[in-house]
Amino acid sequence: MKVTEVSKAFGGVQALSKVNLTIKKGEIHCLAGGNGSGKSTLIKIISGFYKADSGTIQINGKDYQKLSTMESIEQGVQVIYQDFSVFPNLTVAENIALNDAVASKKKLVNWKKVYQKAEEALKKINIVLPLHEKVEELSVSDKQLIAIARAMLHKANLLIMDEPTTALTRKEIHKLFTAIRHLQKQGVAVLFVSHKLDEVFEIADNFTILRNGQNVITDSTKNVDHKKFIYYMTGRSFDAELFQPEVSQEQKPLFQVKGLGLENGFSDISFSVYPGEVIGIIGLLGSGRTELAMALFGLYAAETGEIWIGDKQVTIDSPITAIKHKIGYVPEDRLSEGLALGQSIARNMSIANIDSLCKKGNQVDFDKVDENVLHWAQELSLVMQNAQQPAHTLSGGNQQKVVLAKWLEIAPKVLVLNGPTVGVDVGAKHDLHNYLHQLAATNEIAIIIISDDVLEVLENCNRIFVMNHGRFTAEFKNTEVTEQELLAEMTRQE
């Protein structure tokens, strides 16, 4: 597959400008770039969803100026997006093979053939899954493998995977990469879209980086290191430094949790956050970290223990009481939990603090709303056209800034960030982390980062609590523990 001098503009905004991309048979090629770099637009042009304004796409030796979706599929291009497009109420076999049966236009479904085809498709990626199991009962990684198997049933020779590891554990990533390498041996090309550097260097043969809709570099992953890769993506150099604030535990803590517990979630959780600190809580999926994050914001009501803000013990039994006590919560999934995607930036930013933005008679002061949006846009370096722009039109990093601004609007005393940089590019990630450090330096906000990203926690939290099987199993200062030691504690079996 070869993309030559492809350009695309939306309403005067140039999304792609003379972009080139070549992928050979059996090659695993990484397409990287920051949020808003043009990756998604390029994928949609290759798949026929968008029509390029200029340039050509060559697939299997045939040139296209205006590639359609059907032409792309007929030429063996299959895209697996982050939602996988699977039906949770159908079985594994039905998800893989039923579309094929429907396309045959036969009046009756040959169920034996459906299950036979599904089994054959799974064999192509060397995976075994329970064919009669409903997909809703399976893990995220298994759903992804179902989507890959379905693509192979359509005789894919180019598989495009958009941020395929966002919701996967390390074990599941290994399983996915094994399947991808098995496809590679069969001559299937894979375009792996990601900005997770460790994964890029682990799986990709070559890479192409886009920035501001233009080619920056195409090269072998063997020829660059992490530092160069980041520079090509962002145009900036970042030196990894550990967050080391001056903290005195002789001061009164800003926030305390004492013996907090929730049945089937976590037990006996205790920690304090002192002025100037950023506390990290790290654990794998299923460790109880997500349940703890939700309990701190009242989405779950803790059944035992105490929560203190300053000198005052508080009861957090709902998000309403959490907001009342000035607790902000940046959720793990901003798309379904953090944003109303179809609503404007202004509405998303102001919703948590709407009572304070009303005039007499409970009329919203829209001038004040717009003023606040401009303030946070400047404060967080939010790239937007105007305050009425829908949230879904923003890049991932800018969406996350809108979520953060929503909670900064309430002047929080406690800020809980659950996976704060999931799906955020390296440049925006760096900016968000720096801003959190500046917030902590005010000595007025207790900041808690909850994550499974070892490097994020190690570099940005001065104290780290490891969570395993619903309990804290270790506490470290970030200056006294290595990445390997943290990972070993996270995965330790009792």
Report residue 179 as tokens. Answer: 């399947």
pLDDT at residue 409 tops 70: yes
The least confident of 170-179, 411-420, 446-455, 464-473 is 170-179
Query: Which range in 192-206, 348-362, 437-451 is most confidently predicted, on average pLDDT?
Result: 437-451
Which has the higher per-residue pLDDT, 396 or 434? 434
Structural domains in the chain (count): 2
Does residue 245 lie in a domain region? no
Mean pLDDT score, 383-391: 88
Q: Are 394 and 338 in contact (CB under 8 A)?
A: no
| 468-477 contacts at long range (C-beta below 8 A, 24 or more positions apart) | 468/283, 468/284, 468/287, 468/492, 468/494, 469/287, 469/288, 469/494, 470/265, 470/266, 470/267, 470/287, 470/288, 470/291, 471/266, 471/267, 471/268, 471/269, 471/288, 472/268, 472/269, 472/270, 472/271
- Round to whole Å and give the CA distance between 448 and 294: 12
pLDDT at residue 347 tops 90: yes
**Same domain? 218 vs 330:** no
pLDDT at residue 494 tops 70: no
- Position 139 scores a pLDDT of 79
**Same domain? 308 vs 216:** no
Does residue 240 lie in a domain region? no
Nearest to 336 by CA among 414, 282, 403: 403
**Same domain? 149 vs 261:** no
Q: How confident is the model at residue 477 (pLDDT cuts 50, 70, 90)?
A: very high
What's the pLDDT tens digit per position in 280-338? 999 987 889 999 999 999 999 999 999 999 999 999 999 999 999 999 999 987 877 88
Q: How confident is the model at residue 368 (pLDDT cuts 50, 70, 90)?
A: confident
Angle at Cα 88 formed by Cα 397 and Cα 78, nearest 5°? Answer: 60
Q: What percent of the chain has pLDDT over 90?
A: 51
**Same domain? 265 vs 223:** no
- Round to whole Å and give the CA distance between 77 and 177: 19
Q: How confident is the model at residue 153 (pLDDT cuts 50, 70, 90)?
A: confident
Would you call 255 helix, strand, or coil by DSSP?
A: strand
What's the pLDDT tens digit per position in 92-115? 999 888 777 666 677 787 888 888
Strand order in the sheet with 214-220: 77-80, 158-162, 189-193, 28-33, 206-211, 214-220
Q: How confident is the model at residue 410 (pLDDT cuts 50, 70, 90)?
A: very high
Question: Would you mind telling me the total number of residues written for the chain in this entry?
Answer: 494
Identity at 234, one-letter amino acid code: T
Q: What are the helix (H) ranges across 271-419? A: 289-296, 319-324, 345-350, 366-379, 396-408
**Same domain? 218 vs 277:** no
b/e map of 111-133 (b: 16 or more CB within 10 Å)?
A: eeebbebbbebbebbebebebee
Which has the higher per-residue pLDDT, 154 or 103? 154
**Same domain? 223 vs 268:** no
**Same domain? 221 vs 262:** no
Domain membership of residue 352 as a residue range: 255-491
- Position 167 scores a pLDDT of 65
pLDDT at residue 468 tops 70: yes
Would you call 72 helix, strand, or coil by DSSP?
A: helix
- Round to whole Å and give the CA distance between 23 and 27: 6
Where among 169, 204, 234 does a domain terminate?
A: 234
**Same domain? 150 vs 282:** no
- Position 29 scores a pLDDT of 96
- Position 203 scores a pLDDT of 93
Does residue 104 lie in a domain region? yes
pTM of the model: 0.74
**Same domain? 178 vs 280:** no
Which has the higher per-residue pLDDT, 171 or 136? 136
> The domain spanning residue 418 has which CATH number?
3.40.50.300
Which has the higher per-residue pLDDT, 437 or 423? 437
- Position 256 scores a pLDDT of 97
Q: Are 219 and 207 in contact (CB under 8 A)?
A: yes
**Same domain? 95 vs 197:** yes
Q: What percent of the chain has pLDDT over 70?
A: 97
Which has the higher per-residue pLDDT, 235 or 224? 224
When the pLDDT of each residue in the chain is averaged and rounded to a whole number, the result is 89
Does residue 243 lie in a domain region? no
- Position 102 scores a pLDDT of 64
Mean pLDDT score, 138-152: 83
The least confident of 31-35, 423-427, 441-445 is 423-427
- Position 5 scores a pLDDT of 95
- Position 458 scores a pLDDT of 93
**Same domain? 117 vs 164:** yes
DSSP class of residue 24? -
Report residue 50 as tokens. Answer: 């968008």
**Same domain? 162 vs 273:** no
- Position 101 scores a pLDDT of 65
Start-to-end Cα distance in the chain: 49
